[in-house]
Structure 1
Amino acid sequence: MKKIVPIIVLCLILMAFGSRETTNNTGFSDTLDSQLVTIIDTTGAKQFWNRLKNHCGKTYEGKIVNAPAGDDFYGKRLVMHVLSWQEDEILIPFNVGDNRSRTWVLKYKNERIELKHDHRHEDGTSDKVTMYGGTTSNDGLPGLAVFPADEETATIIPAAATNVWWITLDETSFTYNLRRIGTDRFFSVSFDLTTEIEQPKPSWGWEDYKVTTKK
């Protein structure tokens, strides 16, 4: 009986949509299929992803919220440019002054979001410390994604094994944060999403990248 109840509930949901313009090989209409997918794929991670995609092609300026004393980021212009290459990948070059070595690489897969840090030299070659980061461990929230350091990060940067990155996203700001658990290390930079600025030069090594703003 317990197994039958969910099936009955699902059937009632499907019946509620009513319209069945075109029947496909699943036995349901195209309209009904798309509506069902919308119901199923409403995790916090997916909502966060869709919010971020809305900013593709746009550029924003940020400011330091918190950083270690004497950090090189102080006094530099901080710029993020949101790019989209594929439906499941978003690139965000993060420029610090004239330094265009940093690109945040986010991927949506298996209903989770992965964050990696791509670091390049000015000639476009990869830095020896690159592609570290982590993947969200649960469905998340529409305005928050948390990325605990993964095994690759622990191998590349042993001291960063306890790193936790998180990004907050709302109507007015995008905030990138890093905390190293067990230490005083805390870094946070916030970008103003209410004002777009001019598009920066491409990150080093990404000069041939073609911008896609399709959502």
Structure 2
Amino acid sequence: MTYAKPLALAPLIALSACASTPDVPRLAPSQERFWDALSSHCGNAYEGGLASSDERDADWAGKRMVAHWADCSDTRVAIAFHVQDAGAPGGWNRSRTWIVSRTADGLRLKHDHRHEDGSEDAVTQYGGDTLSGGTPRIQDFPVDAFSIALFEREGLDASLTNVWRVEVDPAEASGARFAYQLTRRNDPTRLFRVEFDASDPVAPPPPAWGW
């Protein structure tokens, strides 16, 4: 069953007042429009699934996925990423949350990874900052120095050239879509991509672990 947008969008007012304050960093025009599009989904949840076909992600194929705009403010949007997993408590892995923040230099993407008890995973808070204005719909986040050091420490050398991409249409757009993508500069064959129907809200899931 789907849920009508007027109901799904009701929490928007409480979650992201978005009043202009001196504490909110200014963004490039394209990033400002991207931020507005991302924020327009606050409070909503959408179903999706794996859209890429890299054999390294075969265990993701066919799994139900839900992206939930679980927490929004003037400077942060937190999107919980829930993945159906028969081996996880309750049949869902709720360990991942994508966090997009406004900074003095642009936009920042971080990955918040937690265990069921809410404690942080050894590999968490990694991501990167935008290096250019991007577009109103697409922003790329190359891996930052903190993340490179983390990956080296954890022996994740394949991730040292990660580039994450977030794509989003405004909630009011016809056929709105949301996508999260991973590529690697040193491996042109690497592609992980999940897509969501952001025009058709569903019931929000339980909170992500630790949230």
- TM-score normalised by length of structure 2: 0.75
The structure, 1 or 2, with the larger RCO (C-alpha pairs under 8 Å, 6+ apart) is 2
Question: Amino acid of the residue matched to residue 65 of structure 1?
Answer: A
Candidates 39, 42, 48, aligned match of 1:56: 42
Q: Distance in 2 between matches of 1:174 and 1:85?
A: 17
Distance in structure 1 (CA, Å) of the matches to 2:113 and 2:128: 15
- Whether the aligned pair in 2 keeps the contact of 1:44 and 1:142 (CA below 8 Å) is yes
The 2-side partners of 1:137 and 1:41 are apart by 12
| Structure 2 SS opposite 1:152 | helix
Partner of 1:82, secondary structure, is strand
Query: In structure 2, how many angstroms separate the alpha carbons of the residues matched to 1:87 and 1:111?
Result: 16
CA distance in 2, matches of 1:129, 1:153: 9
Deviation digits for residues 122-161 of structure 1, max 9, x if unmatched?
1110000011100101222111111000001111113212
Q: Which moved more, 1:153-162 or 1:186-195?
A: 153-162
Largest Rg, 1 or 2: 1
Q: Using the alignment, how far apart are the partners of 1:53 and 1:84 within structure 2?
A: 10
Q: In structure 1, what is the equivalent of residue 181 of structure 2?
A: 177
Structure 2 Cα separation of the partners of residues 149 and 42 of structure 1: 20
Instruction: State the partner residue of 1:6.
Output: none
1:73 aligns with 2:60: yes
Moved over 6 A (4+): none
Q: What does 1:109-120 correspond to in 2, within 5 Å?
A: 109-110=103-104, 112-120=106-114
Asked if 1 retains the 8 angstrom alpha-carbon contact of 2:39 and 2:72, the reply is: no
Instruction: Look up the SS of the partner of 1:50 in the other structure.
Output: helix
Number of aligned pairs?
168
Q: 2:195 aligns with which of 173, 176, 190?
A: 190
Contact 2:50 2:63 in 1 (8 A): no
What are the Cα deviations for residues 156-208 of structure 1, in whole angstroms up to 9, with x where unaligned? 113212101111122310111100122222100111011111110100011xx
Change (3 A) 1:101 1:111: same
Q: 1:88 aligns with which of 75, 80, 87?
A: 75
Q: Counterparts of 1:175 and 1:56 in 2: how far apart (Å)?
A: 16
Q: CA RMSD in A?
A: 1.7
**TM-score, normalised relative to structure 1:** 0.74
Write the deviation string for residues 70-120 of structure 1: whole angstroms up to 9, x where unpaired.
Answer: 623222111000133421001000011100000001101125110000000
**Sequence identity (%):** 40
Q: List alignment gaps of at least 5 residues for structure 1.
A: 1-33, 35-39, 207-215
- More deviation, 123-132/181-190: 181-190
